[in-house]
Structure 1
Amino acid sequence: MNIVILNDTPREVVPDQTVAELLSELVLPARGIAVAVNGEVVRRGDWPTHHLRDGDRVEVLSAAQGG
């Protein structure tokens, strides 16, 4: 297992897990999500091919509605 830091919390992931696979485990809405790995935004089209490495810092952000 590898460890990534997901929104400041350590999380185990399988070696070479992709961003898309991680997001499917998190059960997030299909829209309104942005992902950055090590401070770099990962485009939605790259999620299925962007592999996570041990020690990566992953930030998952969701859009919020305000009033």
Structure 2
Amino acid sequence: MGGGATGMKVIVNGQERELEGPMPISQFVATLPVPQRHVAVARNGDVVPRYLWDEVLIQEGDVLEVVRMVGGGAF
């Protein structure tokens, strides 16, 4: 087929990013500079429960919102 392979484009928190190819959410989150237990992920507007991160694949054109949880005190 074509020449060199190019990555797939996705949108992460409003920014276009290129990934090597489809991957589980768990693999993507592992590349982030924060502990996985402090992160929530929505894919195409739907929050993905952590127990599904190994099963749900990020695909070309997906829109991801990655939110880091921040602890705090009482009001």
Which stretches of structure 1, 4 residues or longer, exceed 3 Å deviation after superposition? Answer: none
Aligned-residue CA RMSD in angstroms?
Answer: 1.3
Q: What's the TM-score, normalizing by structure 1? A: 0.87
Percent identity reads 34
User: Highest Rg: 1 or 2?
Assistant: 2
Gaps (5+ residues) in structure 2? 1-6
TM-score (norm 2): 0.79
Corresponding residue of 1:61? 67
C-alpha separation in 1, matches of 2:49 and 2:72: 25
Between the aligned partners of 2:70 and 2:46, the Cα distance in structure 1 is: 21
Structure 1 unmatched ranges of 5 or more: none
